[in-house]
Structure 1
Amino acid sequence: MNVKNCLDLLEDKSDSYSHGELLHVYIKELLNRNNLTIEDLAAVAISKGPGSYTGLRIGVASAKGLCFAQDIPLISIDTLRALSLQVPQNKTVIPMMDARRMEVYSAVYTNGELKEKVAATILEEDSFQRYLKSGDATVLGTGAAKFQELTADRSNEYVSSVPTALTMCNLAIQAYKKSDTVEDIAYFEPFYLKEFKSN
């Protein structure tokens, strides 16, 4: 595994993307673009969550299948940590994923260091004020626009963004070099954060 093979990406950010129908087609196309076969893989990295219950479940099941079939390591990457890397790390970064209604999955990083661990947060007008009062923070993710509409804050940066494999690559390569970061394929479960509700 090397950085070059990570950087030629294939991503679909459209609302109509169907994981179950297209994921394996995309995996095959990505391998073809990089002149690789399944047998060339040294490991598979997966975004472990939090996030969409169905998306996590399908993604993890596919990754497990590839790893089991090829007898290669499964590496899991925290979704919010990867998301936070889309912006410079020399200030406060608050990645947040929309979790419906006024709830988000969030974390807080300052200068790249975790300050508040991943949590399900009900957004209020004064949420995260201890980090936003400096006026030098970035809130990013699928929950950023929702929070910006709610708060009167106009001094910080709000960036609507989705997680991307591009910011997972360096984290995955670092994890690959450490044997204690490899997941147990049989028992690994995504980090759902909350229990699944059908309605």
Structure 2
Amino acid sequence: MLLLSIDTSTTVCSVALHRAEAGATSATLLGAYELFTERTSSAMLTTLMGDVVRQAGFDLSDLSAIAVAKGPGSYTGLRIGVSTAKGLCFALDKPLLAVNTLRAMAEQVRRLMPLGEKAPLLCPMIDARRMEVYCALYDKAGREVKLTAAEIIDEQSFAEWLAEGPVVFFGDGAAKCRPVLGLHPNALFPDEPIRPSARTIGQLAFHQFEAGRFEDVAAFEPFYLKEFMTTQPKKVVV
């Protein structure tokens, strides 16, 4: 199995290539490219995909499937990533896999957390606007215990969870929440930034591939979570 993964759900543009032999319980990372500059997805995504496959010694036709971060996240970024993945699936006649961006972010941190009884809950956050974030809560096993939602953060946010134990807040949305939630003794904020990555998308997509959980390529749409907000003025008919 050879799996190409794409994540353009935030300002990060990343691609990764994983391979797994028959009977394997996990996939091996063969290569990855990540760019952390603004507005790189539309210009560089196709180039990065071709490079990571070619540098690993394969052709796009060798791929078994394409995986994409489905959101939530940037409307424009998600549209670029999903349309590129779908186009590749159509062109190569390959199946499509989709992974929740927040779930993948939580997996990055989960692997570093203690597995004891007091393991903290994980709260990945993607910046939306003002004091709003896209977020969810995951336990030490990676199970979603609070559904993905758009939340406006104030002093009472996550109060019931923080009262029960520690919660780790991370992602680009966590930085603006730290002044509001950071005074609570159970609110933890890593110093190192945690960004969405196609590396983790590929790891999770491998298990979906093994389970046969594929998307309908024609019907699949990004998980925008909210309606796209335009700043263009409405037309006035006189």
TM-score, with structure 2 as normaliser: 0.78
Q: What do residues 132-185 of structure 1 show as CA deviations (whole Å, max 9, x unaligned)?
A: 234522111111111112222254321332111122222110011122x11111
Larger % of strand: which? Answer: 2
With 40-49 and 135-144 compared, the bigger mean Cα shift is at 135-144
Query: Which secondary structure state, in structure 2, belongs to the residue aligned with residue 83 of structure 1?
Result: helix
1:138 paired residue number: 168
Deviates most, 160-169 or 189-198 = 160-169
Q: Secondary structure at the match of 1:48?
A: strand
Q: C-alpha separation between the residues in 2 aligned to 1:154 and 1:28?
A: 47
Q: Which residue of 2 aligns with 1:94?
A: 123
**Post-superposition, which runs of at least 4 consecutive aligned residues in structure 1 deviate over 3 A?**
none
Equivalence for 2:24 = none
Q: Distance in 1 between matches of 2:160 and 2:227?
A: 29
Output the amino acid matched with 1:156.
A
1:157-176 counterparts in 2 under 5 A? 157-159=188-190, 160-176=193-209
Q: Per-residue deviation at 1:26?
A: 0.9
Name the counterpart of 1:128.
158
**Cα distance, 1:145–1:7 mapped onto 2, change above 3 Å:** farther
Contact kept? 1:7, 1:166, Cα under 8 Å: no
Query: 1: distance between equivalents of 2:145 and 2:30?
Result: 29
Partner in structure 2 of residue 182 of structure 1: 214
Q: Are 1:13 and 2:36 matched, yes or no?
A: yes
Distance 1:118 1:104 in 2: 10
Corresponding letter in the other structure for 1:117: L
Any residues of structure 2 matched to 1:147-162 within 5 Å, and which? 147-151=177-181, 152-159=183-190, 160-162=193-195
| Deviation by residue 1:80-121 (Cα, 9 ceiling, x = unmatched) | 100101113643001111101110011011222211110010
Deviation at 1:32, TM superposition (A): 1.9
SS in 1 for 2:150: strand
Measured in 2, the distance between the counterparts of 1:8 and 1:17 equals 22
Paired with 1:178 and 1:135, the residues of 2 have a C-alpha distance of 34
Unaligned runs of 5+ residues in structure 1 are: none
Which deviations, in whole Å up to 9, do the C-alpha atoms of 1:27-49 show, x marking residues without a partner?
11111221111111100000000
Specify the code of the residue in structure 1 equivalent to 2:150. A
Q: Is the 8 A contact 1:140 1:161 kept in 2?
A: yes
The equivalent of 2:96 in structure 1 is 74
Identity level (%): 40
Q: Do 2:30 and 2:56's aligned partners in 1 also have CA atoms closer than 8 Å?
A: no
Map 1:111-126; keep pairs closer than 5 Å: 111=140, 112-126=142-156
Q: Which residue is 1:110 aligned to?
A: 139
Counterpart code for 1:126: Q
Structure index of larger Rg: 2
Higher deviation after alignment, 85-94 or 35-44: 85-94
Name the structure 2 match of 1:41.
63
Matched, 1:83 2:112: no
Cα contact 1:106–1:118 (8 A) shared by 2: yes
